[in-house]
Every structure is written in structure tokens, then in C-alpha cells.
Structure 1
Amino acid sequence: MTGSHRRIGYFHSARELGNPLDFLVEDNTRERGICDLLDQIAQSAAPEAADVTTVITYLKEELPLHLQDENEDLVPLMRLRCKAEDRIDDVITRLHSNHGHAMVDLPAIVSLLGKATPMSQRTRRMIRNFASHARSHISVENAILLPIARVRLKANDLDKMRRHMLERRGLHRVIG
């Protein structure tokens, strides 16, 4: 994900917000790319500064918005619309566990990535573990939660979710 292959930033993919579930999939694709970059950084003796900056920017600016999209819009709507047979509470519990790891580890990961000193084995392990937890979260969301959302959520739910996602990103005046 270096050079011209780097696809980070909401302005690039704001058109996917026509359907907020598609945008979440796009977000997950970007996050998976960040996980790959984290693994690359953890394995490198001298990570590229641009890659480190890309990861830090994503973790500080984009990931919190993505987690808000899920916690403030998607999860409440899923609880409202899902049927008992969907066992959505089990899925949400698993996602919240992954969110907990992300939010607890996030400041330390950002801080460690921001240091110019060579990385210790402990730091490398923390970075790889963070990426692993994120991949687990992405898998649950893409394979279980979003397919159920596509069936259960109504058009007005998606409109509300889209509006909130645009507002969070300051795009509501531009895209509306």
C-alpha cells in the first residue's frame, strides 16, 4: 500500500455513501490495507516514514469515525430491526469486544509508531496483535453483520445512517 496504491481518505470514497453499508465495506477494505501496512511496518528494520504517517493518520482520524458509524448507527439499528433468529446480540458482543481492544490499544500503537527509535520485539508484537484484532473485527462485520443488515435495515434506516455518516465527516454540506 505504498505510493500510488495508497487509498486512504473519505473524500476519495464519499460517493460510496449512497449506500452506507457499501461505505462500511469500503472502510473495511481500507482498514484491511492498514492492517497489511502495520504488519509490513512491524517486520521492517526501517519502516518508510510515509507508511507510518499513513497508518497514524488513519488510526487517529478515520478509524474513530468508522467505529462511531458502527456504535452510534449500525448497532442500534440492527438491535431495532433484527429478529431473535439472527442472534444479533451475540454478533454485537463479539464486535464490542474487538472495539474494546482497538480503543484500549489505539493510543499506545499511535504513540509507538510515532517514535523514531528502532522498534523492540514487544512493540512489533503489539502492532501485529493490533492488526490481528482488527482483521477479526473486519471478518465478523463483513461476513455476518453486514449481510444481515442488508436484509433487515429499511430504506429510511439507511438514509438516517447515511446522513449521520456524512455529518461526522463534515460532508453533509458538500454531498447532502
Structure 2
Amino acid sequence: MNALFDTAPDFGQPIAVLKHCHDRIRKQLDTLARLPEHLAAHGADREAQHAASAVLRYFDKAAPHHHQDEEQDLLPMLDGMAEGDDRVALDALLPELLAEHQQMDQLWNALKTALTGIASGASTTLSEPGITYFSTTYRNHMHKEESTIAPMAKRLFSSEQMSTLGNAMQQRRSVPATTGSNHVDR
């Protein structure tokens, strides 16, 4: 039987939650990429307003939580454990990932003003080069995390460390431990 809703993994699987976040980011980036063409054809109609609002909501709330998961928990935990080839890879990648988080935040702030205008129906202007650069930067960043960081964490973290990571992520979102987390916007 197919589920009606795409459910998220729970915080007992923190690496799967992070991957799920990446999948949701990709969906928002796809929406953002379609928006300029829609605006050119239809202006800031209800559909454009709804799309802009959804993108704003995601990148203003869920994406910062995701970055905090990585910066405050995942990456420091890995940094404390990595040895040998993992240490070499992490030493090379860690400063790059953190710099990209700052860069993506700056790129987001440049897009946010235009999206706010579209969400209110007051504007139809959105920078396609800005969208492309933001999207490309985010997609390349996620690829690095999925190809190096996630496999490293799966290999190195004990079940207790995974639990610690998942608990921190859950608390960051103020999700009570007794509540299922599948309905939380991550």
C-alpha cells in the first residue's frame, strides 16, 4: 500500500533525517527555479504567491535548523572522532562546508527580499542568475555531505552517538520525545 504522505524518518535515524532534509531542499530549489517563468507568464498570482511563501517558510525555518544540526552537532562529533583517511578528508572538507553555509545564508538573504514581495503579490521580479547560483551552490554542498560526511558518520558513530545526534536535532525543533516526528517540517 502506498502512503498518502511522504513521511520523514524519525530522529532515531538522524543521518536519514538529514538526507530527508536535503531531499526537501531539492524540492524547494526546483520550485524556486520554476518561479521566474511562471512570473513572466502569470505575474504574482495566487500560485506564485503560494510558491514564494513555501520557499520562504522552508529556507527561513527548516534550513537554519539543518545547518545548526551540522554545525553544532554532526560536524563537531565527527571532528572529535576522525582518524587516518577520515581525518584527512574531514580536515580538508570541514572549513569548506562551514564557509558554504555562510555563503548560502548570504545568497538566501539576497533572494529573500524578492520572494517576500512576490509572496505579498507586490512584485514579479526575481533574479534568475541569483537562483541558479544559490541552487548550484546548495546542490554541490549537499553532494559533498552525502558522499563524504554521511557515510563517515554512519561508519564511525556508535548507536549511542547516533542517539545523541538525533536527540539534539529533535530538541532543536522543540519536538517532544513522546511525539512522533514524522509530521515535523525539517
Q: TM-score, normalised by structure 1?
A: 0.85
Greater RCO, CA 8 A, separation 6+: 2
Q: Which residue of 29, 33, 38 corresponds with 1:39?
A: 33
Structure showing greater radius of gyration is 2
Question: 1:137 & 1:108 partners in 2: Cα distance?
Answer: 19
Superposed counterparts of 1:9-24, under 5 Å = 13=8, 15-24=9-18
Q: Kindly provide the CA deviation profile for residues 69-121 of structure 1, in whole angstroms up to 9, marking residues without a partner as x.
A: 0000000011011113122121212211221211122222211111132215x
Query: Percent identity among equivalent residues?
Result: 22
| Residue number in structure 1 paired with 2:141 | 137
CA RMSD of aligned residues (A): 2.1
Query: Would you say how many aligned residue pairs link Structure 1 and Structure 2?
Result: 165
Equivalent residues in 2 for 1:27-176, closer than 5 Å:
27-44=21-38, 45=40, 46=43, 48-86=48-86, 87-115=89-117, 116-119=122-125, 123-175=127-179
TM-score norm. by structure 2 comes to 0.81
- Give the unaligned 5+ runs of structure 1: none
Q: Tell me, in whole angstroms, the C-alpha distance in 2 between the residues paired with 1:175 and 1:118.
A: 41
How big is the shift at 1:6?
Answer: 9.3
Greater helix content: 1
Q: Which runs of 5+ in 2 are unaligned?
A: 181-186
